[in-house]
Amino acid sequence: MIYTAKNYEHLLGIPGFSHELLTNHFRLYEGYVKNVNIFFENLSQIEKTSLSYSELKRRFGWEFDGMRLHALNYETQK
């Protein structure tokens, strides 16, 4: 499964959030999406990597939850 980061730039300028804060969060969200995709790539090749399954699983929870929480927050701002 491959995830694609959505573009939430339409949220720039909403009251109470600075441009800098939102752009930093957008970059953070994009990083989570990228790392979730890397997780799936590594999982499919786990025998060829030096990463352990437990390390991949731990990182996946962090990255996936970060991706989903940011996306859900942005979706509620529409």
- The pLDDT value given to residue 6: 93
User: What is the reported pLDDT for 9?
Assistant: 94
| Residue 45 identity | Q
> What's the pLDDT band for 62 if we cut at 50, 70, 90?
confident
**Euclidean distance between CA atoms 54 and 22, whole angstroms:** 33
Q: What is the pLDDT of residue 78?
A: 63
Owning domain of residue 23: 17-75
**pLDDT, tens only, 10-60:** 999 999 999 999 999 999 999 999 998 988 887 777 666 566 777 777 788
pLDDT score for 4: 95
Give the pLDDT band (50/70/90) at residue 61.
Answer: confident
| Residue 3 placed within a domain | no
What are the CB-based long-range contacts (under 8 Å, 24+) for 39-45?
Answer: 39/63, 39/64, 40/1, 40/2
Q: Domain total for the chain?
A: 1
Q: Is residue 45 part of a domain?
A: yes
